[in-house]
Amino acid sequence: MVIRPAGVDEGIVFVRGDLSGNNRIKANVHNVRDTTLATTLGLNGVTVSTVEHLMSAFSGMGVDNAIVEVDAPEVPIMDGSARPFVDLLKDVGTHVQGKGKKLLVIKEKIAVSDGEGTAMFLPSAEFRITYKIEFKHPAIGIQSYEMNFSDVSYEKEICEARTFGFLRDVEYLQAKGLALGGSLKNAVVMDDHRIINKDGLRFPDEFVKHKILDAIGDLSLLGIPIIGHFIACKSGHRLNNLLLKELLIRKECWALLSRFSKEGLLNELTSLRVPSFQVLDSAPATPFAI
């Protein structure tokens, strides 16, 4: 995988370098093709799978525009977290492109449910995340976590949380041709009774923190930073995607404004707290490869 700079308002674009013609896929909610155990983007019959960790790193570090070239139908899994991507973005540097961000501000509740889990947006002065998971497994049980989003909190609290799953899920993915490089080096794996990784967890609530990591990546497919409170219980890629689609339908529940528009920040909007991202390098950005 190689990540290259992109122009203003290009967004995140995946390019399948192993294919010729019709090989570009813009990372947005409309191009989500599958949400089974991972988020898969597709366009014109071409797909790129397991994009959520990289998208999460882009969102966590405030990167809006980038070209991602891959030579296979899946993004490299790395160590199963977003930490390697965050470190590489910090090493190569980012820069301001001279155009202010737009923001989507939640004004009214928007919610979706599948009978088992729920996901919703509520009004808030900042981007907050509250997540609860419940697994009938002795190593997980019930976990919850809440955070106010920023690049600092993302890097400190979330980006190192690894993906997790059960042996039966790994077998299912590999039967579909995915996660072929999956091992105990890039996932927390459990049998029916325990964690089988020799070194255990990175922190006690790694499971719920990884679900937040995934959600940040999934929600970034809206293409616009959200100011609101995201609350999820037993959610996953599918519900995260359905919530974005419901949001696009319910236009009366949100407002779009420019971060630098004085007119847009009058009255009730003056209390908004917009995440500020560190500019990692003032020099022109350069490509880096994995």
Catalytic (active-site) positions? 237
86: left (phi over 0), alpha (psi -120 to 50) or beta: alpha
| HSE value, Cβ hemisphere, 13 Å, CA-based, for 233 | 8
Helices 52-60 & 206-219 angle (0-180, nearest 10) = 80
* N residues, the chain: 290
CB atoms within 10 A of CB 202: 16
CA distances from 217 to 45, 76, 177 (A): 23, 15, 22
Among 88, 78, 69, 90, CA closest to 17: 69
CA distances from 35 to 73, 88, 151, 206, 264 (A): 15, 26, 26, 21, 35
* Angstrom distance (rounded) from CA 195 to CA 111: 33
10 Å CB burial of residue 62 (0-12, 13-18, 19+) is buried
Place of tokens 């540097």: 93
Do 190 and 28 form a contact (C-beta atoms < 8 A)? no
Q: Which two tokens stand for residue 168?
A: 């039966």
* Angstrom distance (rounded) from CA 87 to CA 81: 11
